[in-house]
Amino acid sequence: MKIPAVTPTILLAAGLLIYPLIFSGPFYLDIGVTFLLAAISASAWNIVGGYAGQVSVGHAMFFGLGAYAPLLCYTLFQWAPIAGIPFGIVFSIVLAVLIGIPTFRLTGHYFSMATIAVAELIRIYFGTWDLVGAAIGLQGPATARGWWDLTFRSELPYYYIFLAVLAVLLRLTFLIERRRFGYYLRAIKAGERAARSLGVPVQQIKIKALILSAVFTSLAGSLYSVKTGFIDPESGFGILVSVQMVIIAALGGAGKLYGPFVGALILIPLQTATNTWFGGGGTGLTFILYGGIIVLIARYEPGGLFELWERIAPRGWRRKNAS
């Protein structure tokens, strides 16, 4: 019997849709929401870091800009936080262009170093900037003035909003994979010089990928701050925000459509578990674990779990599902 290629996707979507109905407790709902947010930001990172092979280790800069914009609009003008989302996106695009133009002319290492330096620069600067609350950060509306504030007591509405955004992002990535743009990205990753000599506009494609990635990372940041109603430099621009995106994408499989999804599926429950078991000291332990996982992926399985699965999966299963 041949399984249609779309069946896994439909099953997955159905599973995610009914998850909150089965696990309706606040603890499980929180894991679900955290998982979706992590999957969104890692999938956004995946566009430039995975498909184009330009490894950003400072994507928190886009996340942070996206996270600050809604709460800043609320604090300054009393607008509904969601009205600030476009501003976060615009600033992220500008930043992406500013970083992309100089570094994409050089080898990939420069891009990585520039991203980490710029993210740190912004984090430190926001920590001293009074307009954005300096080290204390910003807060959103405490109680909703209307539905448009998107301030809900339950996490359920956020779950479905995040799920919708993730679906749009994955659909978009799926489409990119099959278009000229997607082939260009993979060509650049496989060999930049060869791609250029075949007429791929390398510089332009890389910047486009970075912009697209920045837009969705910024959106993820906005969703985060609208949900939590609070942001400070560390939770917006901290290096661990960037690390999480990289590790989730790389664990599942960088440059694979469902790579970040699988990565988040494994890492978020793991992170919750270590935090629950080890209490307050767990955070530090979580990052030791992160570091260890990253090193192991780099050393043994740079393709992530997806490639590992493709190698060890039974041959018959693979042939049946080959698309």
Out of 23, 27, 77, 110, the only residue in the binding site for other proteins (CB under 8 A) is 110
By the rule CB under 8 A, 127 interacts with other proteins: yes
Which of 50/182 has CB closer to other proteins?
Answer: 50
Please report whether residue 131 would count as binding other proteins according to CB under 8 A.
Answer: no
Is residue 103 close enough to count as binding other proteins by CB under 8 A?
yes
Task: Determine if 282 is a binding residue for other proteins (CB under 8 A).
Answer: no
Footprint of other proteins on 49-68 (CB under 8 A)? 49, 53, 55, 57
Min separation Cβ 51 and other proteins, Å: 11
Look up tokens 């979507």; give the residue: 13
DSSP, collapsed to helix, strand or coil, labels residue 138 as strand
Pick the closer one to other proteins by CB: 167 or 289. 289
User: How far, CA to CA in Å, does 130 sit from each of 11, 136, 137, 271?
Assistant: 48, 9, 9, 33
Which of 57/231 has CB closer to other proteins?
Answer: 57
Query: How do beta strands 230-231 and 138-139 pair?
Result: antiparallel
Q: Does 97 bind other proteins (CB under 8 A)?
A: no
Output the smallest distance, CB 53 to other proteins, in A: 6
Is residue 194 involved in binding other proteins (CB under 8 A)?
no
Q: Does 273 bind other proteins (CB under 8 A)?
A: no
**How far is it, in rounded angstroms, from Cα 70 to Cα 150?**
11
136 binds other proteins (CB under 8 A): no
Determine, following the binding rule CB under 8 A, whether residue 106 of this chain makes contact with other proteins: yes
Q: Are 229 and 74 in contact (CB under 8 A)?
A: no
Determine, following the binding rule CB under 8 A, whether residue 221 of this chain makes contact with other proteins.
no
- Residue 230, classed as helix, strand or coil, is strand
Distance CA 99, CA 81 (A): 27
* Residue 245, token pair as written in the block: 């995106």
Q: Do residues 85 and 219 make contact, with C-beta atoms less than 8 angstroms apart?
A: yes
Nearest in space to 157 (alpha carbons), one of 235, 65, 217, 223? 223
Q: Which of 47, 297, 305, 306 binds other proteins (CB under 8 A)?
A: 297
Closer of 30 and 120 to other proteins (Cβ) = 120
Please, what's the b/e burial string for 275-304 (b: 16 or more CB within 10 A of its CB; e: otherwise)? eeeeeeebeeebbebbeebeeebeeebebb
Q: By CB under 8 A, is residue 246 in contact with other proteins?
A: yes
Q: How many residues contact other proteins, by CB under 8 A?
A: 47
Q: Minimum Å distance from CB 262 to other proteins?
A: 16
Amino acid at residue number 44 = A
Beta bridge partners of 139: 230
- CB contact set of 120 (below 8 Å; sequence gap of 6+): 58, 237, 239
In three-state secondary structure terms, 60 is helix
Residue 291 as a binder of other proteins (CB under 8 A): the answer is yes
Residue closer to other proteins by CB (options 270, 285) is: 285
Least distance between other proteins and beta carbon 202 (Å)? 14
63/220 Cα distance (integer angstroms): 6
- Sites for other proteins among residues 8-37 (CB under 8 A): none
Q: Summarize as ranges the residues that interact with other proteins (CB under 8 A).
A: 49, 53, 55, 57, 99, 101-103, 105-110, 112-114, 116-118, 120-121, 124-125, 127-128, 239, 243, 246, 250, 254, 281, 284-285, 287-288, 290-299, 302
